[in-house]
Structure 1
Amino acid sequence: MVEPLLPRRHPSLRGRPPVHSRRLVIDTISYVLVSGCAWRLVPWTTAYRVFAAWTADGTWGRVHDVLRGRVRARDGRDPRPSAAVLDSQSVKTCEGGERIGYDAGKRVRGRKRHVLVDTLGLLLGVAVSSASARDRPGARRVLTGIRRVFPRLRPVWADGGYVNSKDATLVNRARENEDIEIVAVPRNADVAGFQVLPRRWVVERTFGWLTRCRRLTRDYERKTAHAEAMIQFAMIRLMAARLADEHIEPRGPIETEAARRLAEDTNN
């Protein structure tokens, strides 16, 4: 699924041919992502160099966008989504790096991931900032220019914090510049504990998919561009497995019960 989408070595280039196959390089990056180990615990010289180079030239983003369109088409959807869900996640960092801050609301020192997904939970846009950054500036980064990529996109469901009655700058800019309507899905204050909120549960499930990769349970990257690329690579791995019909068997009581309920809904 991935190999035909990767950049090719130009035939006019001279020098020693690559020692390691691209399949081995992709497997090494995937091993670092899933296991959460350090780069230097694997044959990292080639793998990290390729990962950094393809991050800089946008290869991961291009591969991700192609696979997302294929997954949506296979599910009977238009490759260009018409609705999306917006949310953020604060995660701790390790050692130093760019844009480290403190999220006083979540009591987390690290970075914040601003994520926009479609109604299937597939990634449409991601921006990594300091954890001290507010949600609305991060949302502006994700939404800026989004209609040029997804011209059918109209409603974007989000947390009530994005739609503040005292500061409607984000809502107004999204409506005027991008022709997007941000719709708040508020939390019921009368219910204590965890709630499954309409529409917003989709992006929470995407966060769950990401944190199954141990490299993403924290933010170990020193550069925010590499942190965004790791998120894209995690979704590439997930979508490629779906397109190859490599379904993950449920493990544990929660996954088993969820699979049983999903099967019942499908049969009904």
Structure 2
Amino acid sequence: MCVCRCKPRYETSLTDRQWAVIAPLLPVRDPRSGGRPLKYDRRLILDTILYVLRTGCAWRHVPRDLAPWDAAYRWFAAWTTDGTWHRVHQALRDQLRERDGRNRQPTAAVLDFQSAKSAEGGEEIGYDAGKRVRGRKRHLLVDTDGLVLHRVVHAAGVQDRAGARRVLHGLHEQFPALELIWVDGGYVNVVDGGLLDWAQRTEHLHLVVVPRNADVRGFQVLPRRWVVERTFGWLARCRRLARDYERTTAHAEAMIDVAMIRLMAARLADEDIEPQGPIETEAARRLAEDLKQNQ
């Protein structure tokens, strides 16, 4: 029988309505001990993981009125290994797309990456000479609303085109209706357009480059690409993702899943917690313009 503990209502904690969305998707038994019931309440475990994700604190520094840090970390790792986070993320994304009147299978997406400094050692640590960052790259493929379709974390030293191939390889098996992907100009080989040709030939995907304006310095809000930039903005509000603190790329990818699970659960519970910042404000303005033009 699960042991429920009284807990304070931290800002990072799930609301009752958000928990009602997630609870049916989480395992109820311990797969490591013959299927016995979990020792700690699943909601308490998830609230502890969300506390670490949102505040960026070390596992050992979680408040004592949450679950023991080692139990929370153990279940975070176990649910990463058995694919629980990925399955929950997929289920919530499908539910959200259907609620918004869209098909579960997207036909278009946006691809981009972010270099993140590594605060720890671990696997696949490299140096991105272009961004002058030692750490890892996070490649995100998102739908036209910014929901993550696929994520791959790898060493920062891997070239953009090679990283994109990791994301796109076998993508049609999961998303058979996907045909069009908007990408950054950095993915294009100016000599032979290697990635574009490869994607069309092997994955039957049409990649469209959204170029930057060379006359404008600094950050630019670009057509289509602002969608994935907004998603990176959502993730950046989770301080655990401000740097890459994970020892393994699997855990780094799982943290992205957990961040999106929280955001999508809030939307499905009609308790939108979408951050509001410069990127989100500009994205909302452009979205309103697009809707007005399509009417």
TM-score scaled by length of structure 2:
0.83
Match of 1:34 among 54, 62, 68: 54
Say whether residues 1:22 and 2:42 are aligned partners: yes
Three-state SS of the structure 1 residue aligned to 2:177 is: coil
Is the partner of 2:29 in helix, strand or coil? Answer: coil
Per-residue deviation, 1:264: 7.2
Structure 2: how far apart are the matches of 1:251 and 1:143?
A: 30
Amino acid of the structure 1 residue aligned with 2:250: A
Q: What secondary structure does 1:2 align onto? A: helix
Task: Please point out which of 232, 242, 264 is paired with 2:267.
Answer: 242
Q: Deviations over 1:104-160 (max 9, x none)?
A: 111111111011101000001111111111111111111111111111100110011
Aligned sequence identity (%): 64
Superposed structure 1 runs of 4+ greater than 4 Å apart: 13-17, 249-252, 254-268
Corresponding residue SS for 1:228: helix
Q: Does structure 2 conserve the Cα–Cα contact (< 8 Å) formed by 1:35 and 1:213? A: yes
Query: What are the within-5 Å matches in structure 2 for residues 223-262 of structure 1?
Result: 223-248=248-273, 254=278, 261=285
Q: Does 1:8 align with 2:33?
A: no
Deviation of 1:90 (Å): 0.3
What displacement does 1:251 show?
6.3
The equivalent of 2:3 in structure 1 is none
The whole-number CA distance in structure 2 between the counterparts of 1:145 and 1:250 is: 33
Does the C-alpha gap of structure 1 residues 79 and 17 become closer, same or farther in structure 2, counting only changes over 3 Å? closer
What runs of 5+ residues in structure 1 fail to find an aligned partner?
Answer: none
Counterpart-to-counterpart distance in 1, 2:212 and 2:218: 11
CA distance in 1, matches of 2:85, 2:130: 32
1:104-253 map, 5 Å? 104-248=129-273
Q: Are residues 118 and 260 of structure 1, via their aligned partners in 2, closer, same or farther at CA, if it must alter by over 3 Å?
A: closer
Amino acid paired to 1:152: A
Do the aligned residues in 2 keep the contact of 1:250 with 1:256 (CA within 8 Å)? yes
Q: How far has the Cα of 1:7 moved from its partner?
A: 2.2
Note closer, same or farther for the CA distance 1:214–1:185 as it changes in structure 2 (3 Å cut): same
Would you say the 8 A contact 2:263–2:274 is kept in 1? Answer: no
Which segments of 5 or more consecutive residues in structure 2 lack a partner in the other structure?
1-20, 63-67
Q: How far apart in 2 are the matches of 1:250 and 1:68? A: 18
Distance 2:143 2:215 in 1: 29
Question: What is the CA–CA distance in structure 2 between the aligned matches of 1:75 and 1:53, rounded to whole Å?
Answer: 32
Give the match's secondary structure for 2:212: coil
**Would you say the 8 A contact 2:200–2:206 is kept in 1?**
yes
SS at match of 2:88: helix
Instruction: Read off the aligned partner of 1:181 and give its amino acid letter.
Output: H
Shift of 1:259: 9.6
Cα displacement (A) at 1:214: 0.3
Maintained 8 Å contact 2:229/2:279: no
Q: Deviations over 1:41-95 (max 9, x none)?
A: 1221111111111101111111101100111111111111000000010011112
Match of 2:187, as an amino acid? Y
How far does residue 16 in structure 1 lie from its aligned partner after superposition? Answer: 6.7
Give the residue type in structure 2 aligned to 1:90.
S
Deviation at 1:14, TM superposition (A): 5.5
Residue 257 (structure 1) shift: 6.0
Deviation at 1:8, TM superposition (A): 3.3
Deviation at 1:193, TM superposition (A): 2.5
The CA RMSD measured in Å over matched residues stands at: 2.5
Deviations 1:196-238 (A, max 9, x none): 1101111000000000000000000011100000001100110
Q: 1:18 and 1:248, CA in 2 relative to 1: closer, same or farther beyond 3 A?
A: closer
